[in-house]
Amino acid sequence: MKSSEKSFDVVIIGSGASGGAVAYMLTRAGFRVALLEKGGLVPRDAFSKDEIAYCRRDIVTPSLFDEYHVIEEKIEGKWVSTPTYESGWSFWNGNIVGGSSNFMSGMFHRLHPDDFRLLSKYGPIEGANVVDWPITYEQLEPYYTLAESLVGISGHFQPHPHEPPRSTPDFPQPPTQENGIVALFDKTCKAMGITPLVTPRAVLSQPKGGREACYYSNFCGSYGCSSGAKGSSREALLPQALSTGNLTLFTHTQATRLFSSDKRKIGYVETVHTLSKKKGRIYARYFVVAAQAHESVRLLFNSADRFHPDGIGNRYGQLGKNLIFSGGGSGQGYLTKEALKPEDFEALMQPGLFVNRSILDWYFIDDWWHGKFKGGLVEWMFEHQNIIRRAAAEIRDEHGELLWGKALGERLYRRFTQSKGLRFEIFNDWLPTDECFVTVDTQHRDIYGMPVGKLRINGHPQDLKVGSYIAEKCEAILHRMGAKEIYSSVSAAPSQNLVAGGCRFGKDQKSSVLDPYCRVHESDNLYVVDASFMPTGGSVAHTWTIYANALRVGDYLAKRVL
């Protein structure tokens, strides 16, 4: 080893939710940890609500002309490949310290115990690779609780047939403040026999450990938090890890290849500094990959060598298989001044406050007409507050003609002052199939010379069936509330920020990449802890489960392996 090369107990690749959680556990246990992040460290007070910067110019993600993916979609029965620098469809989700956890909306739910036994509970589904998890909800529950405490989740627990059991009576913090329109929402739901629940949020309602409470800007999704209220890895975990003195943070450091020292062990990781382009090596006893599902798979493929000719973890051809996203859809209706009582409209127009409501009634569907099947969760919120995007949606009239001048001004005035969009988002399983996976495209390389990730995307018909069923129920709520211009959209196009699978964990190495503790089956010192471990995604957003599982793996490494 050269004098410029460094050695640690553990190298963690990626500083998001999973990498931060493992770093937290290991540094507190006294191990010397190197944390590699391809992006930089953004100071808390540098986060702004600049829509052009964060949503139009992607200042926290790479240029698609430098780093991109190739997406395969089925068009008229044929698979068509398109680089994302042509389509503009970005699968980068925040390449800075803390990763995409900086930009999440922070709506947190645990998986239900039935999500861990999808096959045995609901049976096989034709065309879907449904399996049970190699661990149970009961094994993960203590780490859900630990994540809840560390991250600082606000909410109020209400018993419900589809709420997972808890070992603590309630969340560590009371709910965030709610817009007054929730009174009408709750009244409407209850009149329809539907139970509205308070949404748990990884957003502080009270100060905690150097982090300030939420300041209710209503700009959570897509934006960093300048008060520290959002429970990102950057705020909730990494400061504590750094305070131990055991963590060395390498920013602007891209991992390009894992080098195998022998058939069973990784010896070092090759890196490139994204600003200087200087190459290096970092040695360690153990390696933890936490680069986001599709990018972790890409790194393992690009680390092929004489010991692993088809990629590390790919002895049985399972690497990259069973890529999953989040199924579902979304919809919206406008609540207007004309349709509401004056007091309800006044409450509606209060700025900043959350809707803070979820519906779990359709997590399991037992319908005399449609049958019995696994359903999903619904989150309720206001339309995204991006002003440019909201205004751009109003530039044409009902006949599609472009508006300008006084007519456009009057339309915008009415939209922004006399109505507000109430939105729902549906989360249901994206079933794993043989036609949704990630590999690498050796014909396309990024600026570092690495073959880019190639994602084949195809949903299962059941995903659309579930989403459509729930969307119809949600539209009925909006109608009952008096909303106008109601619509919903359920499609097979996935959300790019909810990617999982590709390194499925399991007990049988012939049908999985990782063991139940997320160690690569064919390696003694390599672990993968981001959402790629998930064999099925459940019907909630993945982040709380990512946190919990990474804390579980970090605990295992600290106590049993090192």
Read off the pLDDT of residues 261-272 as tens digits, 9 standing for 90 and up.
999 999 999 999
Please state, in angstroms and rounded to a whole number, the distance separating the CA atoms of residues 415 and 407.
12
| pLDDT tens string 55-85 | 878 789 999 999 999 999 998 889 999 999 9
- Coil/strand/helix, residue 411: helix
The pLDDT assigned to 524 comes to 96
The list of the chain residues with pLDDT below 70 reads 1-4
Q: Distances from the Cα of 2 to the Cαs of 34, 36, 256, 258, 450, in angstroms?
A: 17, 19, 19, 18, 24
Residue pair 284/255 in contact by the 8 Å Cβ criterion: no
Q: Distances from the Cα of 465 to the Cαs of 41, 214, 430, in angstroms?
A: 42, 37, 11
Query: Which one-letter amino acid corresponds to residue 270?
Result: E
pTM, two decimals, is 0.96
Residue pair 538/530 in contact by the 8 Å Cβ criterion: no
Q: Which tokens belong to 68?
A: 């991109």
The domain made up of 1-69+93-152+224-320+502-562 has a fold known as FAD/NAD(P)-binding domain (3.50.50)
The pLDDT assigned to 3 comes to 42
The length of the chain is 562
Contacts 24+ apart (CB under 8 A), 516-521: 516/134, 516/135, 517/552, 517/553, 517/556, 518/549, 518/553, 520/300, 520/312, 520/313, 521/313, 521/315
Q: What are the sequence ranges of the domains in the chain? A: 1-69+93-152+224-320+502-562
Q: Which residue reads 């990781």 in tokens?
A: 269
If one counts every other C-beta atom within 10 angstroms of the C-beta of residue 334, the result is 18
7 by Cβ neighbours in 10 Å (0-12 / 13-18 / 19+) ranks as middle
